[in-house]
Structure 1
Amino acid sequence: MRENTNHWKAKKINSTEQRLGGLCPLSPKEVGLFLHALGYPSSTLIYIAGGDVYGGSSRLHELESRFPNLLSKDTVATAKELEAFSDHDSQKAALDFIVSVESDVFIPSFSGNMARAVEGHRRFLGHHKTITPDRKGLFELFDKMERGELEEGSLLSSLIKQMHENRHGGPRKRGGAPPGVKGRNRFRFEESFYENPYPECICRSKKNGPMATSKVHI
């Protein structure tokens, strides 16, 4: 059935083009560079949500060398506490979702469905700080570092901070499709409602601007 459906067929993917287009996740090393450039200290507690680490768990030390306080549900909860979730992957994902929603800052290394849902929920709860990495821009900077054209330091930090000045989860209306795009094609370009429920599900006050309709905790 998959082979007979055009948009389900396996496609040849150019990994270089995908990365340059910002369509690949940040690696643990790149996450470490990113957080350090934003000014987060090495003592920062980092909870790793989700499944497999991009690049493999063996590459996690590249992040751990900068930020040793790495946590996950497997280290926060006891084996007995996790036993009830052993055969329920969706429930284990829900644990990560709850921690991500309640965290001080949420930074997705990739904009998958869970990351979008977490971002939208945090917006609904009052636009809690959510830093969405500009992966395309970051990869350009990281590639310059690989070529020796840019070094880690104040310049890199300044460029990354400037790049993410308006990517902290602040109030903004959900993005729509470009002019002229109609029908089902609109869904390819429209920002997901679950990622940004404003303005439909977030009230606007004259004094404070966009505000959540209520505080909901899972």
Structure 2
Amino acid sequence: MRSNGPYISLHLRYEKDMLAFSGCTYGLTDEEADDLTSIRENTVHWKIKIINSTEQRVKGLCPLTPKEVGIFLHSLGYPSSTRIYIAAGEIYGGSQRIAELQTYFPSIMRKETIASAEELVPFSNHSSQMAALDYIVSVESDVFVPSYSGNMARAVEGHRRFLGHRKTIIPDRKELVMLFDKLDAGEIQVGPKFSREVMEIHKRRQGAPRKRKGPPTGTKGKDRYRTEEAFYTNPLPDCLCQSPLTSSLVETTLKNRGHV
């Protein structure tokens, strides 16, 4: 990836199991939605069986679709020539869904298209090792964008923060869904006004230094643990202020951004 210039690593969580687990069926056919529902109902260790897909999406709890990601990155100002590495398993809907992203960014790559079949043989029967390849490429990318806030996305975000707050754009899915629904209703069009709104929403969601978020005031017990931002997602300040120079630089940045 590096030999051909800058690239975005996109953690596109649009795999079959993810959609079935989350109950997100927006943009899918009735047959596909039934297929995912059947998987969820027949997976014993998944406790929640009945999910309202519309409510999930409105709350921002669904992964962005490939098309939505394309609109999102385009609206942030990335040109169509931008190279995008897909860090994910098999995308549900295959080439048809990837084509929706390629409408905006034709240069799409994956480990299966970069590495030879022979090179991938040692990893092919080990899903965690295949994911590790995506993790490495994501950590080293010029920009990292997760379409959903899963464990890998949070770990990559934290790793990139530790390495110097490398650019990591975290989509505000709840706000984006409202904009996408306006697009679908014809109330707004993709263009300068739309881009300004998207940029405004995300100007403070690009990996700049900030202190780790604690639990809400008054939270106790397990709720305190659940609501506190994970250390591996944002290791600031614990692991990023080990020298007077580093500490001073981080403190200055935080003050300039109004976080301290």
- Specify if TM > 0.5: yes
Residues 127 and 39 of structure 1: is their aligned pair in 2 closer, same or farther, counting only changes over 3 Å? same
| One-letter amino acid of the counterpart of residue 208, structure 1 | L
Query: Aligned residue for 2:129?
Result: 91
Query: Aligned residue for 1:150?
Result: 188
Deviates more, 1:52-61 or 1:110-119: 52-61
* Contact residue 241 and residue 247 of structure 2 kept, 8 A: no
- RMSD of aligned Cα (Å): 1.7
Return the match for 1:189 from 227, 231, 235.
227
* Contact residue 171 and residue 205 of structure 2 kept, 8 A: yes
> Are 1:208 and 2:244 an aligned pair?
no
| One-letter amino acid of the counterpart of residue 175, structure 2 | G
Return the match for 1:117 from 155, 159, 175.
155
* Contact residue 28 and residue 54 of structure 1 kept, 8 A: no
Query: Aligned residue for 2:258?
Result: none
> Are 1:40 and 2:40 an aligned pair?
no
Return the match for 1:9 from 41, 47, 58.
47
Alpha-carbon separation, structure 1, partners of 2:127 and 2:152:
13
Identity %: 62
Structure 2, unaligned runs of 5 or more: 1-44, 253-260
Write the deviation string for residues 150-174 of structure 1: whole angstroms up to 9, x where unpaired: 1110000000000001011011111
Return the match for 1:163 from 183, 201, 204.
201
Alpha-carbon separation, structure 2, partners of 1:210 and 1:8:
43
Deviates more, 1:48-57 or 1:109-118: 48-57
* Contact residue 240 and residue 247 of structure 2 kept, 8 A: no
| One-letter amino acid of the counterpart of residue 87, structure 2 | A
Figure out how many residues of one structure are paired with residues of the other and give that number. Answer: 205
Deviates more, 1:133-142 or 1:190-199: 190-199
Write the deviation string for residues 107-148 of structure 1: whole angstroms up to 9, x where unpaired: 101110000000000000000000000000000000011111
Q: Once the 2 structures are TM-superposed, how far is the Cα of residue 186 of structure 1 from its aligned partner?
A: 1.5
Query: Aligned residue for 1:74?
Result: 112
Q: Once the 2 structures are TM-superposed, how far is the Cα of residue 199 of structure 1 from its aligned partner?
A: 1.2
* Contact residue 155 and residue 233 of structure 2 kept, 8 A: yes
Residues 149 and 55 of structure 1: is their aligned pair in 2 closer, same or farther, counting only changes over 3 Å? farther
Query: Aligned residue for 2:28?
Result: none
* Contact residue 165 and residue 209 of structure 2 kept, 8 A: yes
Query: Aligned residue for 1:216?
Result: none
Structure 1, unaligned runs of 5 or more: 1-6, 212-218
Query: Aligned residue for 2:27?
Result: none
Alpha-carbon separation, structure 1, partners of 2:136 and 2:251:
23
Residues 210 and 123 of structure 1: is their aligned pair in 2 closer, same or farther, counting only changes over 3 Å? farther
Q: Once the 2 structures are TM-superposed, how far is the Cα of residue 87 of structure 1 from its aligned partner?
A: 1.1
Alpha-carbon separation, structure 2, partners of 1:87 and 1:115:
22
Residues 90 and 42 of structure 1: is their aligned pair in 2 closer, same or farther, counting only changes over 3 Å? same
